[in-house]
Each structure stands twice: as C-alpha cells, then as structure tokens.
C-alpha cells in the first residue's frame, strides 16, 4: 500500500458502490482497502435481506452489512477479530443512516459462534484464504467444514447461508464437499440456490483456471 504520487492528507476516503457509501482505508488496510470482487454477491444478498436478521462474519469494511441494512434487514450483526475492521464497519453503518439496526462485535468468529445462542435468518461466512499452498489444502477443507457447521447451527429453519472461499487451491467442487459435510454434521438439510464467483472485471484465463479463486454458495437451510 502507498502513494505513487503525493502523500496522505489524513482525510477520510469514501468510495461508492451501487449507490452505497463506504469509508475505506487504502493506506494501511487489507490489499486495496475494499474487496470489490464481492460487489455482485453483495447485490444478490440485498435481494434476500428485507425483514431478515442478518449475521455478517469476517465483516472487514462491512460491505455485506451495509447492503443488508439499506435493503431493509430487521437487524444486522457484524463480527471481525480486527478492531480496526470493526471501527470501519461501524462508520459505514453510520454512513448508511441505519446504525440503529446494527451491532458490531470485535471477536474471533468461531469463538463468537460458539459463545452466542442467537438465531439468524441470513448468515454470511466470508473468511480470508485458509490455504495458499497445496500442502495446506486438507487443513483448509477441515476448517471450512468446522466453520460452516458452526454457522449453520445459528440459522433459523428456512434461513439462508452465504458462504465463500477465496483459497485458489480449493476448487469449487472441494469447497462444496466441505459445506455438504458441514450440513451433515449439523444435521440440517440444505438446498443450493446459487453458485457464486467473482465478477466480470476479475476475468479468468483459460490457461490459468486457478484465477477463479472466489467461489461461493447460497444455501436454503431447513
């Protein structure tokens, strides 16, 4: 991160996406400060959000949270282990003018899921990459299974799970298998409503299929 020309003024940086405002930290934040590869998936989530209780985990800047709030979610809870990320999410909830329906928790996601008993109607699992090398793939799949089983346990009957992996070495088929194993472990039947990926401005070369790093599922959980 840094400037090619000029220097920081210390001013707040605001970006716009599909009519939503976000304060971002492109100086010290993760990567570019805002994950635009989830743009289309955030818009899809907004369609399902009205009237629902939403939990957004690994929230970072609160992208999914803001879309849910502005779409009319009953309430939105955001969780991230980074206090800086939580501060950004709270600021972005303020920019949405719906902070009264939002609560943020600076906590490890698995710890939060294990220590809270609340039920939600829509839950987002969007963790950082669990594996960057083939040698770590098996452990990553076990991690996805554990995380998704914990998330599914918090869904009310008929709830929706938006779950993602950005690990290049985990194929869509392997990820789907891990989520299936999680649903079996949780004892909850589930149907796939959508298979998700990155938007068109993140193209994938035929000669480098690993470029399709982002994969996701939307499940209806009974």
Catalytically annotated residues: 166
What one-character-per-residue DSSP string does 122-163 give? EEEE-PPPS-SSGGGHHHHHHHHHHHHHHHHTTEEEEEEEEE
CA pseudo-torsion sign 95, 100, 101, 107: positive
> Burial, 128: exposed, middle or buried (Cβ in 10 Å; 0-12, 13-18, 19+)?
exposed
Write out the H or E segment, with its range, that includes residue 195: strand 190-197
CA pseudo-torsion sign 173, 140, 196, 151: positive
The answer to whether 54 and 68 are in contact (CB under 8 A) is yes
Angle (CA) 153-193-156 rounded to 5° is 25
CA atoms within 13 Å, Cβ hemisphere of 70: 23
Ramachandran angles phi, psi of 177, nearest 5° = -65, -40
At 93, list the tokens: 């909830």
CA pseudo-torsion sign 26, 30, 34, 37: positive
């Amino acid at each position: 991160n840094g400037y090619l020309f000029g220097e920081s003024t210390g001013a707040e940086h605001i970006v716009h996406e599909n009519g939503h405002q976000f304060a971002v930290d492109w100086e010290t934040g993760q990567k570019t400060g805002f994950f635009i590869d989830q743009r289309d998936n955030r818009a899809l989530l907004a369609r399902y959000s009205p009237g629902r209780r939403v939990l957004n985990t690994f929230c970072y800047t609160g992208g999914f949270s803001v879309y849910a709030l502005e779409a009319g979610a009953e309430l939105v809870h955001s969780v991230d282990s980074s206090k800086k990320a939580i501060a950004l999410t709270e600021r972005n909830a303020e920019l949405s003018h719906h902070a009264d329906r939002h609560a943020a928790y600076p906590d490890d996601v698995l710890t939060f899921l294990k220590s809270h008993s609340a039920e939600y109607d829509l839950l987002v699992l969007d963790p950082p990459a669990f594996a960057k090398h083939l040698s770590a793939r098996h452990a990553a799949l076990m991690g996805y299974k554990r995380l998704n089983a914990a998330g599914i346990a918090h869904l009310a009957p008929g709830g929706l799970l938006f779950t993602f992996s950005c690990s290049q070495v985990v194929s869509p088929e392997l990820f789907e298998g891990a989520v299936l194993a999680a649903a079996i472990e949780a004892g909850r039947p589930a149907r796939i409503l959508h298979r998700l990926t990155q938007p068109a401005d993140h193209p994938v070369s035929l000669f480098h299929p690993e470029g399709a790093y982002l994969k996701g599922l939307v499940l209806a959980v009974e």
